[in-house]
């Protein structure tokens, strides 16, 4: 058999080791095949380097750099094509709310682009500038694939400020979108520091399942405590200390006495172990009207 690689000679071991020799020859052939594949992959790049070196030397000597630069670009494109190191596929996972066209525009990497020439840092920054993208991980998968993994923001509430509402995520960061129609069901939070505190507040309110679905808005008072607006218009004034205890107490009263079905406008729970209710005007007139003598 003809020798492809000089150092891949036949084994000189005695016939007693025929089995081991066969395995060694098999490993040798695999190594030869791998070496040839690597050589074929590297050959265009080596030819490119030699061509560029000769071209620029020629340009410097005869002062025709512009023509050689154009020629060099053509050589680069040809070498990339021959080596197979050009973008053929872009795989994206984690895209749910991000618009496809907007993502494609930010990727801005046409098929046939040199795989190794893609600036991953710049591409990551562009993708993460999209409203719904919290973070992006981008990798090359040689020879011809870009792999993009997205972590999108999760909408939490609507932040009302100066008469305008903005969507915020679980971290309290604004999601810069204009159309909020799909998020009208989310609670509204009000106050300068409300976005940063909303996650903990909503988690606390979730501790009373009978009341949590009825929450419509939370107003941050003096950066210290919360007022909670319910679906029937009742405002619950929670205390600064142990608000979760007061909230669960209100849930127990609602479950046992239906306290929210009464004609009240405000439930004040700011004082420890006390609950003060403010009646609606109609209910106040009803209770304060003089009785009839019988």
Task: Indicate the domain borders of the chain.
Answer: 23-83, 89-152, 155-288
Q: Which of 77, 13, 30 is nearest to 51 (CA)?
A: 77
Q: Are 269 and 275 in contact (CB under 8 A)?
A: yes
pLDDT averages per 10-residue partition of the chain, 294 residues: 35 48 63 54 55 57 54 52 73 97 94 90 97 97 94 98 96 96 97 96 96 97 96 96 96 94 92 88 60 48
Give tens-digit pLDDT for 96-121.
Answer: 999 999 999 999 998 888 988 899 99
Strands (E), the chain: 89-93, 133-141, 145-152, 155-161, 164-169, 174-175, 188-190, 215-221, 225-230, 235-237, 264-268, 276-279
Pairing of strands 188-190, 215-221: parallel
Secondary structure string (H, E, C) spanning 138-182: EEEECCCEEEEEEEECCEEEEEEECCEEEEEECCCCEECCCCCHH
Question: Which residues share a beta bridge with 220?
Answer: 226
pLDDT at 159: 98
pLDDT at 294: 41
Tokens 């003089």, residue located: 290
Contacts of 158 (CB under 8 A, 6+ apart): 165, 166, 167, 168, 180, 183, 186, 187, 188, 189
Q: Is 278 left (phi over 0), alpha (psi -120 to 50) or beta?
A: beta
Euclidean distance between CA atoms 180 and 158, whole angstroms: 9
Global pTM value: 0.69
pLDDT at 105: 96
- Say yes or no: domain 155-288 is CATH 3.40.50.300: no
pLDDT at 61: 55
- Say yes or no: domain 89-152 is CATH 3.10.20.310: yes
pLDDT at 89: 93
Euclidean distance between CA atoms 264 and 252, whole angstroms: 17
- Count CB atoms within 10 A of the CB of residue 85: 20
DSSP 233-252: SPEEE--SS-HHHHHHHHHH
SS3 29: helix
Euclidean distance between CA atoms 88 and 5, whole angstroms: 34
Cβ burial of 111 (10 Å; 0-12, 13-18, 19+) is: exposed
Q: Are 227 and 219 in contact (CB under 8 A)?
A: yes
Q: Which of 115, 121, 108, 127 is nearest to 84 (CA)?
A: 115
> 47: which DSSP letter?
H
Tell me whether the CATH fold assigned to 89-152 matches the one assigned to 155-288.
no
Whether the bond between 98 and the residue before it is cis, its omega within 30 degrees of 0, is no
């Amino acid at each position: 058999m003809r020798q492809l690689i000089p150092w891949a000679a036949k084994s000189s071991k005695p016939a007693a080791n025929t089995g081991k020799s066969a395995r060694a020859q098999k490993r040798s052939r695999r190594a030869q095949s791998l070496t040839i594949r690597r050589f074929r992959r590297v050959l265009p790049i080596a030819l490119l380097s030699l061509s560029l070196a000769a071209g620029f030397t020629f340009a410097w000597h005869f002062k025709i750099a512009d023509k050689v630069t154009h020629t060099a670009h053509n050589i680069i494109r040809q070498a990339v094509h021959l080596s197979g190191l050009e973008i053929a596929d872009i795989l994206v996972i984690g895209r749910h709310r991000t618009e496809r066209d907007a993502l494609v525009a930010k990727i801005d990497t046409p098929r046939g682009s040199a795989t190794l020439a893609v600036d991953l840092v710049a591409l990551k920054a562009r993708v993460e500038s999209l409203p719904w993208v919290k973070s992006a991980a981008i990798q090359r998968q040689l020879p011809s694939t870009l792999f993009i993994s997205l972590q999108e923001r999760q909408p939490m509430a609507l932040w009302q400020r100066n008469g305008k509402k903005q969507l915020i995520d679980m971290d309290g960061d604004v999601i810069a979108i204009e159309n909020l129609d799909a998020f009208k069901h989310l609670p509204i939070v009000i106050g300068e520091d409300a976005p940063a505190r909303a996650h903990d507040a909503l988690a606390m309110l979730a501790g009373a399942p009978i009341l949590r679905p009825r929450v419509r808005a939370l107003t941050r008072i003096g950066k210290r405590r919360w007022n909670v607006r319910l679906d029937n218009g009742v405002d619950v004034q929670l205390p600064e200390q142990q608000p979760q205890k007061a909230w669960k107490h209100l849930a127990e009263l609602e479950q046992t006495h239906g306290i929210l079905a009464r004609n009240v406008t405000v439930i004040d729970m700011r004082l420890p172990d006390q609950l003060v209710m403010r009646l609606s005007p109609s209910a106040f007139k009803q209770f304060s009207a003089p009785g009839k003598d019988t």
